Amino acid sequence: MTRSPIIDREELAELLVSPEPPALLDVRFVLSVDGGGPTGRAAFEEGHLFDAQFVDLDVDLADPPGERGRHPLPDPGRFAAAMRRVGVRMDRAVVVYDQADGSAAARAWWLLTHHGHDDVRVLDGGYDGWVAAGGNTTALVQSVEAGDFVARPGRRKVLDVDGTAALAREGLLLDARQPERYRGEVEPIDPVAGHIPGAVSASTRDNVTADGRWRSADDLRERFAALGAGTAGEIGAYCGSGVTAAHEVLALELAGYDAALYPGSWSEWVADPARPVATGGA
């Protein structure tokens, strides 16, 4: 039986005191519209799991924003260097976490597995769940021995613009943003509101419980089947900039579906005014 990509607090606690503890990556991330407010690094410096290393989503898990969207996939060589810096080894398990619901941690999970790492898991409930369960934390930033991670991209399905448009017509393209953004009622970040024509609204907030814990595989399977996953053939996901879409891909994997990611997502799609935009319900 394939091991789940989700790890609970109890299992992680046992692994951390084992002879071969996993590398811990803190991927807390705060999406700021105006550039102000708290940051993931500030949260890390206030407290984190022992031996965890901070990974900056904007810097380490994405290339600079541009024509490919707000969070393009990072250059493989630069991504590998960032992972080696935080101690990722090819023969060592990796556990990633964020504040609670996995929406940022899933980006690290997707990138590491896409680039060839075989053992990456997301902490269920994130930092908040760890603390609520009595897990120890520290404000000290520990040094770590450099890893040997080598990026070999190609493990996961990736969509470009044309592939995404085709999937929306011929398969099932899930929009992982909040329903009001899908409908085009609000758009706080990108210059155009709406969704890719043919896409189906499937907010990532329904992949987890109110406290950020992942729903069971059976619940997720039922959810995605109701959206058409059981009969759609190929499945893909997008969001605003390709970050929370990785959360959707992870939820789909838990449910037993192998889904593609459109990394450019809505921010790339609307960069070309000639591309069609839909509003309202499905």
- Phi first, then psi: give them for residue 200, nearest 5 degrees: -115, 135
Structure tokens at 168: 């929306």
**Residues paired with residue 6 on neighbouring β-strands, in sequence order:** 122
Q: Active site residue: 43, 239, 254, 270, which one? A: 239
Instruction: Give the C-alpha separation, 244 to 223, whole Å.
Output: 17
Longest Cα–Cα distance in the chain:
56
Helical H segments across the chain, by residue range:
9-16, 40-46, 57-60, 76-85, 105-114, 126-132, 161-170, 179-182, 217-226, 244-254, 265-269
HSE-up (13 A, CA, CB side) for residue 140: 6
Burial class (CB in 10 A: 0-12, 13-18, 19+), 280: exposed
Residue 250: count other Cβ atoms within 10 Å of its Cβ. Answer: 27
Is 268 an annotated catalytic residue?
A: no
The tokens of 267 are what? 């921010």
- Give which of 122, 108, 113 is closest to 60, Cα–Cα: 108
**∠ CA 256-72-243, rounded to 5°:** 45
Under a CB-based contact definition with an 8 Å cutoff, are residues 12 and 123 in contact?
yes
191 and 270 in contact (C-beta within 8 Å)? yes
Q: From the CB of residue 188, how many other CB atoms can be counted at a distance below 10 Å?
A: 10
Catalytic site residues? 239
